[in-house]
Amino acid sequence: MIASALIVFREALEAALVIGIVLGATRGLKGRKTAVAWGVGSGIMGALVVAALMGRIAQAASGTGQALFEAAVLFTAVAMLGWHSVWMSRHGKRLAQDLKNLGSDVTKGLRPATALYAAAALAVLREGSEIVLFLYGLAASGAGAGALCLGGLIGLSAGAAAGGLLYLGLVRIPVRLFFRVTGWMIVLLAAGMASQAAAFLNQADLLPSIKDSLWDTSRLLSAQSVLGTLLKTLVGYTPSPSGLQMLFYAGTIALIASLTKLAEE
């Protein structure tokens, strides 16, 4: 039960951190909680569909279908996060101003941050489908339903709690700095996702790894640990990145930063 709680926790943590950042970054926007709830809801539905179809997805593209699918989902999320960053560069000042003057959830006349909600939905879809498959496997192997539900619930709530803590921490940042901090968190989130997506394309033999391992810090901080998982989501930590991953990581940051600069005028 503890093992299953831990595995569910790790997957839930990744999705919850993304949701925490999205909730933080949309601070001051009207209707964001409903929108995020819709994102999470549709993400869960999507996760069930993906889990059910995983066998077929994996068989596609001569057995590399899942890697391609994961890369596609990740790149879509990266695009959404990037789009939001560019949008914020135009509207962030006004948002911060409104927030300072009026408190939260009163900003009107701004386009809702649909792209961010979509990114949250995609995170839930990806991590959720793994949770579903894992729990299904346990159930199929005859683990007791009680222990299973309990383990799953503990893992989920712990993950959600971590996301909630992150959010609470974020909203304590003074408004002056707030959008700069969340802005950078979104860029790093996107860069980490792009690096993961690149690894999936390499796994499917579509892109060369360039250099297999630039360095190896798995002894210092394993990717399997809770801290490793946390940093993997927040800043794209991976213990031994390939040259390809590094390229996508740095490229994403550079691309979003320059698009943002351009949009600022």
Binding site for other proteins (CB under 8 A): 3, 7, 45-46, 49-50, 53-55, 57-72, 130, 133-134, 136-138, 140-141, 196, 199-200, 202-206, 209, 212-213, 216, 218, 222-224, 238-242, 245
Question: From CA 188, how far away is CA 157, in angstroms rounded?
Answer: 25
Q: How far is the CB of 223 from other proteins (least distance, A)?
A: 4
Cβ proximity to other proteins: between 89 and 129 the closer is 129
Q: How far is the CB of 147 from other proteins (least distance, A)?
A: 15
Q: How far is the CB of 66 from other proteins (least distance, A)?
A: 6
Are 237 and 221 spatial neighbours (Cβ–Cβ below 8 Å)? yes
- Choose among 128, 154, 149: nearest CA to 139: 149
Cβ proximity to other proteins: between 188 and 201 the closer is 201
Q: How far is the CB of 81 from other proteins (least distance, A)?
A: 18
Cβ proximity to other proteins: between 157 and 218 the closer is 218
- The token pair that represents 152 in the structure block: 């799953």
Cβ proximity to other proteins: between 115 and 138 the closer is 138
Cβ proximity to other proteins: between 146 and 215 the closer is 215
Are 86 and 258 spatial neighbours (Cβ–Cβ below 8 Å)? no
- The token pair that represents 262 in the structure block: 């351009």
Please report how the helices 2-25 and 226-235 are oriented relative to each other, as an axis angle in degrees rounded to 10: 30
Q: How far is the CB of 215 from other proteins (least distance, A)?
A: 11
Please report how the helices 114-140 and 32-63 are oriented relative to each other, as an axis angle in degrees rounded to 10: 60
Q: How far is the CB of 5 from other proteins (least distance, A)?
A: 12
Grouping H, G, I as helix, E, B as strand and the rest as coil, residue 107 is strand
- The token pair that represents 221 in the structure block: 């901080």
Cβ proximity to other proteins: between 65 and 155 the closer is 65
Grouping H, G, I as helix, E, B as strand and the rest as coil, residue 205 is coil
Question: From CA 95, how far away is CA 107, in angstroms rounded?
Answer: 7
